[in-house]
Structure 1
Amino acid sequence: MPTPKTRIGPLLRQENGFLIRETFLRIEPTVDVYIREKWLEQPGVRQILPVILLHGAGMDGAGFDVPVENTSLADALARQGAHTFAFDFRGHGRSSRAADGFAVTLESSIQDTSAVLDYVQEISGSQQFVLVGISYGSIVASVFAERYPTRIAGIVLLGFLYKTTGVSLEDSLEEAAKAPAGYAFTTEEEWPELFIPTAAPAVIDWHQAHFGTAYAYPVGPYFEVRKLPFAINPERFQGRVLIITGDLDPLATDADVARYVQAVGSPAEKKSHLKQIGVGHLPYVEAQAEAVQQAINEFVAAASADVE
């Protein structure tokens, strides 16, 4: 049951019919995790498993609902019957700010994810879920799935990081180590050049406005990436796996994808890799975003059918 300190907001209906609810889930005495639900009431549409969206480092859950150029993954999932839950890891977005940004780690993010799943299970009755993670969120998703395999029907790993990164992070980590209280800022130039090279101008502008120089993020997750690998028993997970990467991604590598696909315990017919040409690190908002939406919707439908 949610604690008495959890604040569940009112149910809101947007003009386009989408339903929104915001919650601050109290998971520790000084930690509230912000959750934003989005779904559609569609009589006659088959209900599918709840989808939990795990954001990347230096971002928050709002990135899954970019309101321009039809790049909202939350909208695309909701139209197909999914009830989505995008939440902010502690230290990010609207969740509680950690006093020390270096203390935001994989383990704290696993703890946040577990608490959110418990909450979603309580309000939905579902015993299983689909996790969709981007970058750092893909690490969290893969580790959570191997630790709690009976809770997860499928994982979607976008810009997947497993054992290595395509480029060295040492220079950027050296700068991050100087960040006051463990919080740093993203420069505007980094978004289009490094992460979303083929996104539409309006999408780039949205990211710069939302995650640009006014957004302080905890550097702890970046130092966690240096400790790869975290998924050490992938054979324990036997649910569905979809990995989506772009050939312009500076971090995800084909070698990592091949190693993980080989190591994960899922049967061959439940494992797939969609590699996009001319796409960078955030494929769900770039030039082929609609193909990504379709692939994830088909994946969620298949994972839901697996548990019926």
Structure 2
Amino acid sequence: MPTNKTRIGPKLKQEDDLLIRETLLRVEPRVDLYLCEKWLEQASIPATTLPVILLHGAGMDSTGFDVPVGNTSLADALARQGSHTFAFDFRGHGRSSRAANGLDVTIESSITDTLAVLDYVQEITGARQFILVGVSYGSIVSSVVAERYPERIAGIVLLGFIYKTTGTPLEDSFAEAALAPAGYAFTTEEEWPELFIPTASPEVTAWHQAQFGTAYAYPVGPYLQVKGLPHARHPERYQGRVLVVTGELDPLATASDVADYLQAVGTPEAKKQHLRQNNVGHMPYVEAQAQQVQQAINEFIAITNAEVQ
């Protein structure tokens, strides 16, 4: 719940009339979470529209959902269709409080952060259910939150979903990450397009390189959490709607893992969907078929909203 130490910024308007508000949510005495809202204020939007919470990947932060080039801002695409979106930075990332040791940023600490955001969003909107959209590490956190608190989650969108395994061996990378000073590491600019966004446009690739390249220190704790897969251990407890989006060039997410998860989750078959894209890597929402992903998520949100009304 927000405290008197939470700092809520003014409501501002973008040139396209989307409203935006930034908040530093105090969740612990020494932990603030950065939160950015986007929404379109229209009388035609039902009051029952479910808030959409965006969970970023390891080595990134919430700005990755609002890429200002190439028509790849997922936050804008969802807000324009009536969603009240909330993108936040896990502790240790972006503009949220830094952890003294990046190894202390884990799945459990990120679940704690997510629940604090859900409580805050519930307080300011009155909503009791939410839609989670997670990418990579954020997709792992989303799936665990959904199975632990199924009554609060109406739908989950899992982008570049990692479930039981990864599509490529990571032992050498794990060993290197474990030696990072104070648990923080850097991604070189050259790694971004090759590993994660191989089919993004040059302008989108350049933006990611500038945003998350050599000057961006990220906690290695979330990265090392991959060694503990699967974190979603009781998917049968979740029965809400599920959309998984993966790409054939993804070095981490595998089609067989997605099939296993969709088989295990308690969601009725008619409410499960896997969008597998050709010529796409680990971050489909900013790559060659980003508009198809935006459309699929917006359709998913519309159907989920209709079901809970």
Normalised to the residue count of structure 2, the TM-score between the two structures is: 0.99
Tell me by how many angstroms 1:41 deviates. 1.3
Aligned counterparts, 1:15-164, within 5 A: 15-47=15-47, 48-164=49-165
Using the alignment, how far apart are the partners of 1:12 and 1:102 within structure 2?
36
The question of 1:301 aligning with 2:299 is answered no
Using the alignment, how far apart are the partners of 1:77 and 1:293 within structure 2?
7
Runs of 4+ in 1 over 3 A off after TM superposition: none
Bigger CA drift: 273-282 or 173-182? 173-182
Tell me by how many angstroms 1:78 deviates. 0.5
Q: What do the CA deviations read for 1:184-227 (whole angstroms, capped 9, x no partner)?
A: 00101111000000000000000001000000000000110111
1:303 counterpart letter in structure 2? T
3-state SS of paired residue (2:151): helix
Q: What do the CA deviations read for 1:47-66 (whole angstroms, capped 9, x no partner)?
A: 52100000000000000000
Q: Percent identity?
A: 75
What runs of 5+ residues in structure 1 fail to find an aligned partner?
Answer: none
**Which residue matches 2:9?**
9
Q: What do the CA deviations read for 1:80-133 (whole angstroms, capped 9, x no partner)?
A: 100000000000000000000000000000000000000000000000000000
Tell me by how many angstroms 1:305 deviates. 1.2
**Which residue matches 1:254?**
255
3-state SS of paired residue (1:176): helix
**Which residue matches 2:278?**
277
Tell me by how many angstroms 1:46 deviates. 3.6
Using the alignment, how far apart are the partners of 1:261 and 1:38 within structure 2?
30
2:70 counterpart letter in structure 1? E
What runs of 5+ residues in structure 2 fail to find an aligned partner?
Answer: none
Using the alignment, how far apart are the partners of 2:207 and 2:240 within structure 1?
34
Using the alignment, how far apart are the partners of 2:18 and 2:210 within structure 1?
24
Normalised to the residue count of structure 1, the TM-score between the two structures is: 0.99
Aligned counterparts, 1:145-184, within 5 A: 145-184=146-185
Tell me by how many angstroms 1:173 deviates. 1.2
1:216 counterpart letter in structure 2? A
Using the alignment, how far apart are the partners of 1:46 and 1:289 within structure 2?
27
**Which residue matches 2:265?**
264
Tell me by how many angstroms 1:304 deviates. 1.0
The count of corresponding residues between Structure 1 and Structure 2 is 308
3-state SS of paired residue (1:162): coil
Using the alignment, how far apart are the partners of 1:69 and 1:163 within structure 2?
33
2:88 counterpart letter in structure 1? F
3-state SS of paired residue (1:111): helix
**Which residue matches 1:218?**
219
Using the alignment, how far apart are the partners of 1:42 and 1:63 within structure 2?
26
2:28 counterpart letter in structure 1? E
Tell me by how many angstroms 1:299 deviates. 0.4
Using the alignment, how far apart are the partners of 1:307 and 1:237 within structure 2?
15
2:73 counterpart letter in structure 1? S
